[in-house]
Amino acid sequence: MVSEKNVNARWLREHRDHNETDVILIDTRPVKDFHAGHLSGARHFDTFPFHHTDTSARGVAEFDAQLQWIFSALGITGRETVVFYESESGMRAARGQWALEYAGHPKARMLDGGLKAAAGERLVTNVEKFAPSDFHLNQRAEILATYPHLLEQLGRRDVQIFDVRSDAEYFSERVRAKHGGAIPGSYHQDWTAALAPDGTVKSPAELRAQFEALGLDPDNEIIPYCQGGYRAAHAYLALKIAGYPRVRSYLGSWAEWGNRDDLPREHPRRK
């Protein structure tokens, strides 16, 4: 599948070596996996260690500065198509895609299905040299949710909060912060429900039907969250593929909300 958010292995084969198309591949797997074998020409950025759980104005400014430094170090200019990948359509690659889109890059994509879908591609161990850039961040604040924004939106009918953690986390059977629970009024579905058995993202029609059956209204603003913002970024991508126009990923997620004493919580229980 090819969309404004992801590309498939066929698109990659047709475009990566085309003289008229500048494609940068970013391998988001752990560094040991990258060095064991990666797509030719890929640059490495494991998105997972870069947790950011402060979405105050100061915290967001620090996050912006961090992204500007990272994308400059990766040699990204804003003129190329940047394709993030991992083993399948996972949260690492989705986090990279969302972060670069938030930073204002017009062509941030994820490789749908990851290396599993690109099984015919030869993996290499050599790391090609590339020059750093001077990436200029152009913040797209409308796709990021902060805790003050969430607090202001609680209870509004045109805003829906989407918890994409596991059932155990949602029902406080696995507590990964100072407090268990969920953001009040959250709709819940594990983020992996957006994946097909082959590790690709489900089709737009399947995703749309799934989200609407859950009760998510395409006319509303949807705010997905998880523990650290990675699964939320994947839900952001899935919702956008499904045609939801107003989606914000909550960067701080439960690692921020659940560790504060001054924010409201509810405690869902299994029926």
CB 252, CB 62: distance < 8 Å: no
Mean pLDDT of the chain: 95
What's the token pair of residue 228?
């650290």
Catalytic residue among 25, 195, 226, 242: 226
Q: Say if 129 falls within a structural domain.
A: no
How far, in Å, CA of 236 to CA of 106, rounded?
16
Give the domain extent around 43. 6-124
CB 102, CB 140: distance < 8 Å: yes
Q: Say if 135 falls within a structural domain.
A: no
pLDDT of res. 40: 92
- Pick the last residue of a domain from 73, 95, 124: 124
pLDDT of res. 20: 43
Q: Say if 185 falls within a structural domain.
A: yes
CATH no. for residue 94?
3.40.250.10
Same domain, 180 and 88: no
pLDDT in tens, 222-249: 999 999 999 999 999 999 999 999 999 9
Q: What count of other Cβ atoms lies within 10 Å of the Cβ of residue 64?
A: 16
Residue 19 pLDDT exceeds 50: no
* Residue 238 bears catalytic tag: no
Q: Say if 133 falls within a structural domain.
A: no
Instruction: Quickly list H helices, 76-154.
Output: 91-102, 114-117, 147-153
The secondary element (H helix, E strand) that includes residue 205 is helix 204-214
Structure confidence at residue 216 as a pLDDT band (50, 70, 90): very high
How far, in Å, CA of 22 to CA of 16, rounded?
7
Sheet holding 159-163, edge to edge: 187-188, 159-163, 221-225
Count of domains for the chain: 2
How far, in Å, CA of 53 to CA of 147, rounded?
10
- Pick the last residue of a domain from 124, 152, 180: 124
Residue 126 pLDDT exceeds 80: yes
Q: Say if 97 falls within a structural domain.
A: yes
Phi, psi of 229 (to 5 degrees): 95, 0
Q: Say if 268 falls within a structural domain.
A: no
Residue 76 pLDDT exceeds 80: yes
Q: Say if 131 falls within a structural domain.
A: no
User: Which one has a higher pLDDT value, 15 or 220?
Assistant: 220
CB 255, CB 55: distance < 8 Å: no
